[in-house]
Amino acid sequence: MFNLTNQNAVVTGAGSGIGKSVALLFGKQGAHVFVLDVNEKQASDTVSEIIEAGGKATAQVADVSNQQKVVEIFQQIGRVDVLVNSAGISHIGKADTTTAADFDRLFNVNVKGLYNCLYAAIPLMKKNKGGVILNMSSIAAIVGIPDRFAYSMTKGAVAAMTLSVAKDYLADNIRCNCISPARVHTAFVDGFLAKNYPGKEAEMFEKLSKTQPIGRMAKPDEIAHLILYLCSPEASFITGCDYPIDGGFVKLNN
């Protein structure tokens, strides 16, 4: 089950975090994984791990906010069966404490960057008579999260773009879904705690973990397994959906 043999899968932000877990898992399931990341070393490290495990992978250094570069990379790849838009950045701030520069920075990566990848991939999928797209939204698009104004804005846009793409390309056999994780334990979380709560990292980690009713943060691999399912032939009847994967955060927090 969940076999991706002979499929070309593009994963953005695959040098670290959730994107890396997705890339590694897709490699195990037989896909040729095209690892896109702005960080060349991290992209190369992911590719090395996939190849060492017996898989196929190619690294591509990509700033997803640069449409011309993104289009060039996708044209080089040629055939795209699966696209996972995982690249993204975060920001702490409210509407009146978020600068225009920070707002633009998040928009350019999380919204325009995702659009750029859609813009580049969809014509290739149409030519190939089908494909699967998985976008990374967030529970921040569903519920109010304190101090996440710009980040929430971008993830709401991701959810809306997912519905538009799913609707527009039904006749082209292109499925498009998104997932909405709650907190996931990645290197980003550790860096955030070290920067903002020096000396209190363990205490704050425990506090953030308990905001999920299940009592902990997700592991990147747990997110990757849901993404694998949604991108696999077993999910061929699913399109235009958002899947919260949140340890009960949205429905069970009272």
Q: Which of 115, 151, 197, 229 is catalytic?
A: 151
Instruction: Identify which of 21, 135, 22, 137 has the alpha carbon closest to the alpha carbon of residue 85.
Output: 135
Task: Please confirm, yes or no, whether 243 is among the known catalytic residues.
Answer: no
Tokens of 10: 């593009």
- Name residues whose C-beta falls within 8 Å of residue 235's C-beta, 6 or more positions apart in sequence: 175, 177, 229
Instruction: Identify which of 37, 15, 135, 117 has the alpha carbon closest to the alpha carbon of residue 72.
Output: 117
- In the predicted model, is pLDDT for residue 16 greater than 90? yes
Mean pLDDT of the chain: 96
| DSSP-based three-state secondary structure for 223 | helix
| DSSP-based three-state secondary structure for 179 | strand
Q: Which amino acid, residue 254?
A: N
* Residue whose entry in the numeric block shows the structure tokens 């696209």: 83
pLDDT tens figures, 219-253: 999 999 999 999 999 999 999 999 999 999 999 98
The structure's pTM equals 0.95
Homologous superfamily (CATH) of 8-182+220-248 is: NAD(P)-binding Rossmann-like Domain (3.40.50.720)
> Rounded CA gap, 177 and 57, in Å?
24
> Rounded CA gap, 127 and 237, in Å?
21
Where exactly does CATH 3.40.50.720 map onto the chain?
8-182+220-248
Per-residue pLDDT, 254? 65
- In the predicted model, is pLDDT for residue 151 greater than 90? yes
